[in-house]
Chains A and B, each alone.
Chain A
């Protein structure tokens, strides 16, 4: 994509679109969502963040609090519990949470009728160049 196109967009896309315009007038605040979408989104963010904190720092904290239990319990034929948690479980937990978040976020897109279809985006881009961005 050449730079000139980029510059064209600067001028043509200022109308933005209804949804984005709604955002442009409201303060973005992590604790005070401004729109219903933002409220729903932040709920997902905070719940998954809390789960993540547990998965990441939970096992080591448990090892600190109950060292004997964590180190002397062995699973899968010999892994000490705390070792297995750090080496295998915590990365897996973060991966699962990431997939769940991305999936929830897709559901949110659906609920609010947002499409990321790349073909539609391409068409929009193609038409933007000729109709001055009306298709946004």
Chain B
């Protein structure tokens, strides 16, 4: 039988198109090294640790704002923050007092915040970085040094954070909030709390109802801490891989899911145990369905040094158009009264000595059961922190997490 004239032609065309895509890859294989590409400034960024604090560099061309100036008038004070991470009422009141509009631009990741700070022509006045990106933001001249004379309320901040290891002398940042990463749970469904609360997530009794925070560092650190490994900033490939393997145990055992909506899932009961941030459980109180008592919410955080604490900070970007007002705004947020009002909106606790677990219970911020969500200077001192690591190590953490998420 003679071949059908149509078929070979089409097959050929198909192969051509398919081959074209492969060819692109092959052609690319001929690529060479661009001269001078490897010149990298990464080594200039100090990796700060509590044991080896970093003093961030100052730059002659990035001066701090002079003391004793009048705040800028009119226009817009531009904040760069996570979504719903500052009280709109606090912003509005400040704006009214100083005759400005306070406008929040939101980001979802620190990478995105850095990208926004680097965008030319975007003059943000206050941003809210996490300690792990402060060093590179300072080295990369994205922030301006702070002038402490505008920040009298800094005295009310926890002593450790007035001179933190990630920014000795608070040159560029002041603390905003503190939180821990622990296990949120439904007290009405969890029969008994194991001595190692992390075991709740490994308990098959909560199959289909347990969640891990959807974040590479947090998730893998959880697996390490559950197994007593405290080296949560390790760059050792074997240790990172081991953490991934421990985490993967959860897939067959509990059908674990990943997410960052503990405040909603635990409150509504879709999750029985949820690896989460302390602020999630504080917020969960507002997400309880009608008729469900706040007593059903529980939060476990280890007594020993096997927990993760985190802080967020406030800084003034280099391109701020209202630097004096920006300082005043930061100081405003450090005022205990304002801070408490802000706390009641965000659910994340200001790192101020005026905020104690007892006061938060009596002020009705949290139930007695959720007292464990409040971070104290003692908790901060004994806890571990997720810190900046080198880019190659970060790639290892991400790949281990990606492998876990691929469901292998």
Q: Do A and B bind?
A: no
Q: Which residues of A contact B (CB under 8 A)?
A: none
